[in-house]
Amino acid sequence: MFNFLKYLLNNHLLTAIILMIFFVHSPVMAQYKINTIVIDAGHGGKDSGAIGKKAYEKDIALSIALKLGNYIETKLKGIKVIYTRKTDKFIELFKRAEIANKNNAQVFISIHVNSVASPKPTGTSTFVMGIHKSDDNLEVAQRENSVILKEKSYKKNYKGFDPNSPESYITLSLLQNAHLEQSLLFAKKVQDQFKNRAGRKSRGVKQAGLVVLWNATMPAILVETGFISNHSEEKFLRTDYGQSIIASAIFRAFRDYKNEIEKNSKFIPSNNKNSSNQNYTYTKTETNVIFKIQIKSSTGIIPSKSKQFKGLKNVEKIKYKGIYKYYVGNTGDFKKIVKLQAEVRKKIPDAFVVAFKKGERISINQALKEIGRR
């Protein structure tokens, strides 16, 4: 019997079983699950988007979007796929993110096809909401945003935003996405799939002030699947084979992103009204583990007096790999940080707990293992 137990311990099986029992029965943690995705086929109806010699952007985008949704529905269990459009229909830009927000989606993907005056450029790009760092990125944003001029009440719907005014993009760039970090992670996976698995040229991950991503309250990306202005890429994107290659690459990126986020993220449930009164069984030990609440992430500095931080005290800013992250709270007591999160979420619903050890970010699972026992 002793030898058998020794064998289990040496192979970490017993440890795994104990941890499984611990987390299954724990009233504190609930695994974060990505179960709803919104797929947006760019343009549609009276808005043709970019026009090639034989194809319209709106048609290619719709076909890829439907193929992508089909891959997700058939290959991933428990995922609800919602489309902003499934037919040749005009949808206002602001309504596209609104669909995702109303359905509490965890991911938003907008599918597009690129175009420039020259027939030479080729390749794919994936954009996230941010500050454009080149004229090319601004040009893409202006072209994609120009569709709002086809809407009757665009000045009201977009609070005076003018897609042709450089000044408007400066203002828009200040409205940073709280999910920038996750959006960048997903965008990189898409581009990696295009380059390494689909054999397409990658033009990289880019940032720009894209209205379709502006109001999304979840990780959101816009994928430029190729250049309709290039004859060979237009020909590729018009075919069922080409569209399937593009859709499958985005699918694999989404699958890998989903797996990574769910594996490394443990979010505290926010819908439990009595969460702050639960009797947690974790006990603090001397492990140098500190918990904080992440409230924002941004490529630019958010002023300390910004309205985004109104009502929050002692907001901390940390720069990591070019991204500014903002936190409140600083405690080794897990019970206290859960209680604080409940308060912060009244102002910022998607705020979440993060953990650090000796200044380095660690997973919540690792932090809980280090600070206590049942």
- Predicted confidence (pLDDT) per residue in 7-22, tens digit: 434 544 444 433 343 3
3-class secondary-structure state, position 190: helix
Dihedral sign, Cα of residue 272, residue 277, residue 280, residue 284: positive
Whether the Cβ atoms of residue 176 and residue 324 lie closer than 8 Å to each other: no
Would you state the pLDDT for residue 272? Answer: 39
Q: Is 322 left (phi over 0), alpha (psi -120 to 50) or beta?
A: left
Count Cβ atoms within 10 A of the Cβ of residue 104 and give its class: 0-12 exposed, 13-18 middle, 19 or more buried: exposed
CATH 3.40.630.40 maps onto the chain at 36-263
**Residue 43 backbone dihedrals phi, psi, to 5 degrees:** 65, -155
Q: What is the CATH number of domain 36-263?
A: 3.40.630.40
Would you state the pLDDT for residue 265? Answer: 59
Would you state the pLDDT for residue 178? Answer: 62
Query: Which class in CATH covers the domain with range 268-371?
Result: alpha beta
Structure tokens at 215: 């109001």
Would you state the pLDDT for residue 62? Answer: 98
Would you state the pLDDT for residue 12? Answer: 46
Would you state the pLDDT for residue 17? Answer: 39
Would you state the pLDDT for residue 273? Answer: 38
Would you state the pLDDT for residue 269? Answer: 42
Would you state the pLDDT for residue 26? Answer: 40
- Tens digit of each residue's pLDDT, the chain (374 residues): 444 334 434 544 444 433 343 344 443 445 578 999 999 999 999 999 999 999 999 999 999 999 999 999 999 999 999 999 999 999 998 899 899 989 989 999 999 999 999 999 999 999 998 765 556 666 766 777 777 777 777 667 766 667 667 666 655 554 545 677 889 999 999 999 999 999 999 999 998 878 888 778 889 999 999 999 999 999 999 999 999 999 999 999 999 999 988 877 544 444 433 333 333 333 344 468 998 988 887 767 888 888 888 888 899 998 876 678 889 999 988 888 888 888 888 888 767 888 888 888 887 767 877 876 33
Alpha helices for 11-160 (secondary structure H): 13-25, 57-75, 93-102, 135-145, 154-157
Count Cβ atoms within 10 A of the Cβ of residue 182 and give its class: 0-12 exposed, 13-18 middle, 19 or more buried: buried
3-class secondary-structure state, position 372: coil
Would you state the pLDDT for residue 352? Answer: 80
Task: Please name which of 107, 58, 102 lies closest in space to residue 213, comparing C-alpha atoms.
Answer: 107
Structure tokens at 346: 């009244």
Predicted model pTM: 0.66
Whether the Cβ atoms of residue 324 and residue 300 lie closer than 8 Å to each other: yes
Count Cβ atoms within 10 A of the Cβ of residue 1 and give its class: 0-12 exposed, 13-18 middle, 19 or more buried: exposed
Alpha helices for the chain (secondary structure H): 2-10, 13-25, 57-75, 93-102, 135-145, 154-157, 166-173, 180-196, 211-214, 231-238, 240-264, 334-344, 364-371
CATH 3.30.70.1070 maps onto the chain at 268-371
Would you state the pLDDT for residue 327? Answer: 92
